[in-house]
Amino acid sequence: MLFFIAFWAEKNAKSKWINNPIVYTLSLGVFCSAWTYYGSVGVAATEGATFLPTYLGPVIASPIFIMLLRKIMRISKHQRVASIADFISLRYGNNRFIGALVTVTCVIAILPYISLQLKAISETFEIITSGNVTVDNSGSIFSDSTFYIAVLLAVFATFFGTQTTDTTDKHIGIVASVAFESIIKLLFFLIIGVYVTYFVFDGTEDIYNQFSAIADIEKFTTFPDIYGGFNWFYMTVISFVAVFLLPRQFQMMVVENDRERYLKYAIWLFPLYLLLFNVFVIFIAWGGNVELGDTVNSEYYTLLLPLKNNNIVLSLLVFLGGFSAVISMVVVSTIALSTMLSNNVIIPYGYLEVFRNRDTERNNKYIKNIRRLAIFSLIVVAYLFYINFSKQLSLFSIGYISFVIVAQLAPSLFIGLYWNRGAARGVVAGIVAGLLVVFYTLILPVILDGILNINSFVSEGPFGITLFKPYAFLGIDFLNPIAHAFFWSMFFNIAAYLTFSLVGSGNYRERNYAEMFVRSSNYSDLQEGAYVWRGEAYISDIKRILERFLGSEKTERAFDLFYKKYDIPKDTVMADAKLINFSEKLLIGSIGSSSARILISNVVKEEPVSLAEVLQILEESKETIITNKFLKEKSAQLTVLTAELKNANEELIFQDKQKDEFLDTVAHELKTPITAIKASAEIVMDDDEMDNEIRLQFLNNIVEDSERLSRLIHNILDIEKLSTGREKLDIKECDISETIEKAIHFVTAEVNSKKVSIFNSTTAIKLKYDEDRLIQVFTNLLSNALKFVDENTGEIKVMLEAFPKHVLIYIEDNGKGIPKEDFNYIFDKFYQSKNQNTKKPQGSGFGLAICKHIVESHGGAIWAYENVEKGAKFVVKLPR
Amino acid sequence: MKKVLIVDDEPNIVMSLEYTLKRNNFEVFIARDGSEALEILKTNIPDLVLLDIMMPEVDGYETLKRIRLEEKLNNTKVVFLSAKNKASDIEKGLALGAAKYITKPFSIKKIVSDINELLN
């Protein structure tokens, strides 16, 4: 019957009966194996609602389906991924070892699972034929019916699972039959459910009442405590994870998926399917308990109930339902596993050399044979496992052990999908750590306690160390063994994965793929995406390899398409990165990603983005950084310059303003004598009756003001010359004492008229200076002094003090002194003291300013003493 | 006889103004700077003040401000006499309440006629 459906489907592959979302969803029903079919009832009968997490996980997972699966599907289709091992190894740079590791993990997980199916078949077969639960196994294998069932399954799987070598081709026959079986098992399970509930009993209420009469109903319907909640939580997470990772689920969900949009239906149909499956579980369990009690294996209530009521037909139906659940699980699992084994372990680790020099026909045959052999041996090993171990264990516990083992792949897959730093060595470390923990906390105790009957390990811990008790590691004793093992294995797995991933970055290839996987939402970027791949090869070499696996016709066709797509001329000799990636992907379908990678890299002169190149990239970025730094420095310099400019500008503005003020003052100073001259001249001119004396006075004023005017002009020009440095000093070696004497000589007339005395006590000392200018300085200082001293009593002293490096010349008088408020301004231009004795101010207000300029241009200084008791005291300092 | 106060720190200019005004029958007071002028104004109320601006200590602007604070000086007209001839300076002077702003160098005849005009 199943063979027929598979055949029919293969022939009508295009039919809408097969290519639709319902079939796709039903094919996902492969999740419900014998474990579901029989195991759930057993658990429900003994532990209550604990069977639910197995199905809650997938139900909860279904909304996330869209998010996660879409990503996985797109990558898988694009990269032609054929199994979960391919997927994970590809994510980590097509790492051959990871592919093998994942495969081995899956085999370890699934073998007991398959043996569980065999156990179910064999035991139910026994019940149907003899009504006895215990299987007599004393005879040889050949007298064991299970053996023949196993062989039958192997033949079916082999035949339909290995139709083509390209594993990414769909197994439409398998999909159709799995879908059909999903209908059968659900239908029959519902039938028995209805039968038990409404025919054996009078509806749900009746069962409830009868059951609560004999058992503590509370225990079956509520959580015992908060820890029960933890257990529930972890169990749910386990099956949530498993629904993605079980090879058979991956096979059905991803590899056999025809169209992405089917997902939209699957996300609500699949949970619905699971819910329907679980509707009657609890009632069958309770009903069975009421009818049959604890004397028989509660896992087989579904069979035993109708048998007890002598309904043979119904029992047969149930048996057939269970049988089909087993078939689909075993067939799909073995196909998935055999693909993984051949592509990720056997070919890359052993037979690659053999293939390289063979023709297409032989290679294909060889690959198929490897897979067939793999399927066969898987089932055989599972059978042997069953014979030796499974009999003592319940369906439920074997199932969960498988789940926990397969869950070790979860961190690598899920985290790796969203975290681009996840690295290959992290995967290896994580999976190995996780598996070790599972072995210690779950498998070892089962072997020791359950099979060898050594109890001390579980109850007291290894060598009596209670902290390391396998079921209560580090004192966490509130979880059930499964949840406990899951918790700790995940803990170490994730920790190792993260730690080792962060320790260093992988090679360029690994990063390349990580980038592709993590950023796959940007799907168009993935187009033949070679990120950092550097390499070149002769197209003819690549073609030769492809032809060996795909045949020349298919190879030509693929290349034609590729050329057209990228508009590459057909006579191109060297392959570029895109073509190499494309070819590798074509090969992945046939021999798996690891092998494809090895084959291609043999003909591709791959420059593995050599260290030199990486260094160069680094160098470039370093240069960028340096340039950046340089720019920053420049920018800082600019800022400084800007500030300087701003200051200079402010200085200029200030100087400009000063100049304005200077000119204003000059104009004012010039206008003053002019005004006086003009007014006086006007008066003299107009007034004929003026006294002669007054006329003379006005004329005198005119002369005086004219002199003042010319003096003013001379001084203005002088100070302008001095302050702009345009005046060249005429430096000669002279005697300072003589120079002072000359200056005194200039003011003799005034001294005599004012009848004051001058004392010059300076001594002869040679200095280098411009004599005319210094005479100007001393004359100025002397006439200033003369202005402020009183007639007759005035005294002016000139003294000199010599130091090694300089001389000081003092000019002291006993006049009115410098007013305190003026002290700070006396060297400013236009300063004129009000304290002058003469009624009319003389001087231009430039005298001291000019003196200051002259002395400073000689490298000297001039200042006045403050707080002199009487008169003023000026000092001129000149360098020697 | 009209009274005029001359405020300037330039003796030769003061002398010319004093001589001319006296010849034109004005009573003349003389101050060498702002503070001296304010001192004189305490006891005398001239009809007009000829006020220089650039003087040491209290300058012309300040002097005018203080004059305007004295109620008894309300009828006293103030004429600025200054070498400062920028428009802003003139504006400032007039804004403070000066009747006229005459820039130096001035015509002495013109000053007399201006004063007469202002006082009649």
CA distance to partner chain A, nearest, from residue B26 (Å): 16
Which residues of chain A does B55 touch, with a Cβ-Cβ cutoff of 8 Å?
Answer: none
φ, ψ dihedrals at A798, nearest 5°: -120, 125
Q: For residue A524, what pLDDT is reported?
A: 40
How, if at all, do strands A806-813 and A795-802 pair? antiparallel
The whole-number average pLDDT for the span A719-747 is 85
Q: Report yes or no on A445 lying in a domain.
A: no
Q: For residue A810, what pLDDT is reported?
A: 92
A307 in the same domain as A194:
yes
For chain B, domain boundaries: 3-119
- Comparing CA positions, the residue from A705, A708, A682 lying closest to residue A695 is A682
Is the model's pLDDT at A866 over the cut of 90?
no
Q: Using the beta-carbon criterion (under 8 Å), do B109 and A840 form an inter-chain contact?
A: no
A779 in the same domain as A868:
yes
CA distance to partner chain A, nearest, from residue B72 (Å): 31
CA distance to partner chain B, nearest, from residue A842 (Å): 11
Is the model's pLDDT at A296 over the cut of 50?
yes
Listed range (A202-206, A316-320, A512-516, A728-732) with the worst mean pLDDT: A512-516
Residue A288: give its domain's CATH number: 1.20.1730.10
A748 in the same domain as A696:
no
Which residues of chain B does A694 touch, with a Cβ-Cβ cutoff of 8 Å?
Answer: 19
Nearest CA in chain A to B54: A668
What are the beta bridge partners of residue A797?
A759, A812
Show Cβ contacts of residue A455 under 8 Å, excluding neighbours closer than 6 positions.
A449
Q: Using the beta-carbon criterion (under 8 Å), do A840 and B11 form an inter-chain contact?
A: yes
- Determine contact, residues A574/A540, Cβ cutoff 8 Å: no
CA distance to partner chain A, nearest, from residue B14 (Å): 9
Which residues of chain B does A821 touch, with a Cβ-Cβ cutoff of 8 Å?
Answer: none
pTM score, whole prediction: 0.53
* More reliable by pLDDT, A166 or A554: A554
- Measuring CA to CA, how many Å separate A427 from each of A92, A439, A683, B53? 8, 18, 116, 95
Is the model's pLDDT at A532 over the cut of 50?
no
Q: Using the beta-carbon criterion (under 8 Å), do A682 and B105 form an inter-chain contact?
A: no
Give the neighbor-by-neighbor strand order of the sheet with A806-813: A757-760, A795-802, A806-813, A873-879, A861-864
Residues of A with CB under 8 A from a CB of B: 664, 667-668, 671-680, 682-683, 686-687, 694, 697-698, 701, 704-705, 834, 839-840
Q: For residue A528, what pLDDT is reported?
A: 43
Q: State the Cα–Cα distance between residues A340 and A328, nearest whole angstrom.
A: 18
Which residues of chain A does B12 touch, with a Cβ-Cβ cutoff of 8 Å?
Answer: 673, 676, 679-680, 701, 704-705, 840
Which residues of chain A does B105 touch, with a Cβ-Cβ cutoff of 8 Å?
Answer: 671, 674-675, 677-679
Q: For residue A455, what pLDDT is reported?
A: 65
Is the model's pLDDT at A612 over the cut of 60?
no
Which residues of chain A does B104 touch, with a Cβ-Cβ cutoff of 8 Å?
Answer: 671-672, 674-675
Which residues of chain A does B108 touch, with a Cβ-Cβ cutoff of 8 Å?
Answer: 678-679, 682-683
Q: Based on the number of CB atoms within 10 Å of its own CB, is A694 exposed (0-12), middle (13-18) or buried (19 or more)? A: middle
Q: Which of B16, B54, B105 shows the shortest C-beta gap to A683?
A: B16
Which residues of chain A does B106 touch, with a Cβ-Cβ cutoff of 8 Å?
Answer: 675, 678-679
- Comparing CA positions, the residue from A400, A565, A604, A408 lying closest to residue A496 is A408
Is the model's pLDDT at A605 over the cut of 60?
no
The whole-number average pLDDT for the span A535-544 is 71
pLDDT digits (tens, 9 = 90+) for A171-201: 677 777 788 888 888 888 888 888 877 877 7
- End residue of a domain, out of A370, A393, A416: A393
Nearest CA in chain B to A702: B12
- Determine contact, residues A512/A532, Cβ cutoff 8 Å: yes
Q: Which of B56, B104, B107 shows the shortest C-beta gap to A671?
A: B104
A687 in the same domain as A658:
yes
Nearest CA in chain B to A663: B84
Q: Which of A674, A682, A697 shows the shortest C-beta gap to B108?
A: A682
Q: State the Cα–Cα distance between residues A779 and A776, nearest whole angstrom.
A: 5
- Comparing CA positions, the residue from A244, A435, A248 lying closest to residue A338 is A248
Which residues of chain A does B11 touch, with a Cβ-Cβ cutoff of 8 Å?
Answer: 839-840
The whole-number average pLDDT for the span A212-221 is 61
Task: Quote the mean pLDDT of chain B.
Answer: 91
Other Cβ atoms less than 10 A from the Cβ of A378: the count is 23
Q: For residue A279, what pLDDT is reported?
A: 77
The whole-number average pLDDT for the span A330-339 is 82
Q: For residue A224, what pLDDT is reported?
A: 55
**Domain B3-119 sits in CATH 3.40.50.80:** no
Candidate ranges A274-288, A511-525, A838-852, B69-83; pick with highest mean pLDDT: B69-83
Inter-chain contacts counted by CB atoms under 8 A, chains A and B: 65
The residue of A672, A712, A826 whose CB has the most chain B CBs within 10 angstroms, and thus the best one to mutate to test that interface, is A672
Is the model's pLDDT at A361 over the cut of 80?
no
Output the six-digit token pair for A665. Answer: 């003052």
Which residues of chain B does A839 touch, with a Cβ-Cβ cutoff of 8 Å?
Answer: 11
Task: Tell me the angle at which helices B60-69 and B34-43 cross, rounded to the nearest 10 degrees.
Answer: 20
pLDDT digits (tens, 9 = 90+) for A671-693: 888 999 999 999 998 888 888 89
φ, ψ dihedrals at A401, nearest 5°: -60, -45
Q: For residue B79, what pLDDT is reported?
A: 95
CA distance to partner chain A, nearest, from residue B54 (Å): 9
- Measuring CA to CA, how many Å separate A868 from each of A377, A407, A778, A818? 122, 102, 20, 9
Output the six-digit token pair for A540. Answer: 């003819």
Q: Using the beta-carbon criterion (under 8 Å), do A840 and B12 form an inter-chain contact?
A: yes
Is the model's pLDDT at B64 over the cut of 80?
yes
Amino acid (one-letter) located at A127: I
% of chain A beyond a pLDDT of 70: 75
Nearest CA in chain B to A694: B19
Q: For residue B5, what pLDDT is reported?
A: 95
Q: Using the beta-carbon criterion (under 8 Å), do B84 and A701 form an inter-chain contact?
A: no
Is the model's pLDDT at A734 over the cut of 80?
yes
Residues of B with CB under 8 A from a CB of A: 10-13, 15-17, 19-20, 23, 54, 56, 83-84, 104-109
φ, ψ dihedrals at A726, nearest 5°: -80, -20
Nearest CA in chain A to B105: A675
CA distance to partner chain A, nearest, from residue B71 (Å): 32
A162 in the same domain as A283:
yes
Q: Using the beta-carbon criterion (under 8 Å), do A683 and B56 form an inter-chain contact?
A: no
Q: For residue A136, what pLDDT is reported?
A: 45
Task: Quote the mean pLDDT of chain A.
Answer: 76
Q: Using the beta-carbon criterion (under 8 Å), do A686 and B56 form an inter-chain contact?
A: no
The helix or strand, by DSSP H or E, that contains position A635, with its residue range, turns out to be helix A611-686
Q: Report yes or no on A400 lying in a domain.
A: no
Q: For residue A602, what pLDDT is reported?
A: 66
Q: Using the beta-carbon criterion (under 8 Å), do A679 and B105 form an inter-chain contact?
A: yes
Q: Is A817 left (phi over 0), alpha (psi -120 to 50) or beta?
A: left
Q: For residue A217, what pLDDT is reported?
A: 58
CA distance to partner chain B, nearest, from residue A699 (Å): 11
Q: Which of A674, A683, A701 shows the shortest C-beta gap to B20?
A: A683
Q: Using the beta-carbon criterion (under 8 Å), do B12 and A664 form an inter-chain contact?
A: no
* More reliable by pLDDT, A435 or A399: A435
- Residue B102: pLDDT band (50, 70, 90) is very high
pLDDT digits (tens, 9 = 90+) for A474-495: 666 666 777 788 888 888 888 8
- Residue B39: pLDDT band (50, 70, 90) is very high
- Comparing CA positions, the residue from A848, A601, A623, A577 lying closest to residue A719 is A848
A96 in the same domain as A161:
yes
A319 in the same domain as A332:
yes
Is the model's pLDDT at A378 over the cut of 80?
yes
Q: Report yes or no on A46 lying in a domain.
A: yes
Q: Which of B16, B105, B109 shows the shortest C-beta gap to A671?
A: B105
Is the model's pLDDT at B109 over the cut of 80?
yes
The whole-number average pLDDT for the span A571-580 is 72
* More reliable by pLDDT, A818 or A132: A818
Is the model's pLDDT at A17 over the cut of 50?
yes
- End residue of a domain, out of A666, A692, A727: A727
Residue ranges making up the domain that contains A547? 529-609
Q: Report yes or no on A150 lying in a domain.
A: yes
Amino acid (one-letter) located at A93: G
Q: For residue A520, what pLDDT is reported?
A: 55
Q: For residue A836, what pLDDT is reported?
A: 44
- Residue A120: pLDDT band (50, 70, 90) is confident
- Measuring CA to CA, how many Å separate B83 from each of A378, A665, A800, A832? 119, 10, 44, 18
- Determine contact, residues A424/A102, Cβ cutoff 8 Å: no
CA distance to partner chain B, nearest, from residue A844 (Å): 13
CA distance to partner chain A, nearest, from residue B36 (Å): 14
Is the model's pLDDT at A81 over the cut of 70?
yes
Q: Using the beta-carbon criterion (under 8 Å), do B12 and A671 form an inter-chain contact?
A: no
A720 in the same domain as A732:
no
A196 in the same domain as A64:
yes
Is the model's pLDDT at A509 over the cut of 50?
yes
Q: For residue A137, what pLDDT is reported?
A: 46
The residue of B6, B9, B12 whose CB has the most chain A CBs within 10 angstroms, and thus the best one to mutate to test that interface, is B12
Q: Report yes or no on A436 lying in a domain.
A: no
Q: Using the beta-carbon criterion (under 8 Å), do A683 and B107 form an inter-chain contact?
A: no
- Strand, helix or coil for residue A705: helix
Which residues of chain B does A680 touch, with a Cβ-Cβ cutoff of 8 Å?
Answer: 12, 15-16
Q: State the Cα–Cα distance between residues A722 and A321, nearest whole angstrom.
A: 119
The helix or strand, by DSSP H or E, that contains position B52, with its residue range, turns out to be strand B48-52
Q: Using the beta-carbon criterion (under 8 Å), do A687 and B10 form an inter-chain contact?
A: no
- End residue of a domain, out of A365, A393, A421: A393
Which residues of chain B does A674 touch, with a Cβ-Cβ cutoff of 8 Å?
Answer: 104-105
A365 in the same domain as A347:
yes
Candidate ranges A355-364, A660-669, B55-64; pick with highest mean pLDDT: B55-64
* More reliable by pLDDT, A132 or A875: A875
Q: Using the beta-carbon criterion (under 8 Å), do B17 and A683 form an inter-chain contact?
A: no
Which residues of chain B does A682 touch, with a Cβ-Cβ cutoff of 8 Å?
Answer: 16, 107-109
**What is the number of domains present in chain A?**
4
Residue A715: give its domain's CATH number: 1.10.287.130
Other Cβ atoms less than 10 A from the Cβ of A67: the count is 10
A766 in the same domain as A689:
no
A633 in the same domain as A679:
yes
Q: For residue B51, what pLDDT is reported?
A: 93
Which residues of chain B does A705 touch, with a Cβ-Cβ cutoff of 8 Å?
Answer: 12
% of chain B beyond a pLDDT of 90: 61
The whole-number average pLDDT for the span A541-550 is 75
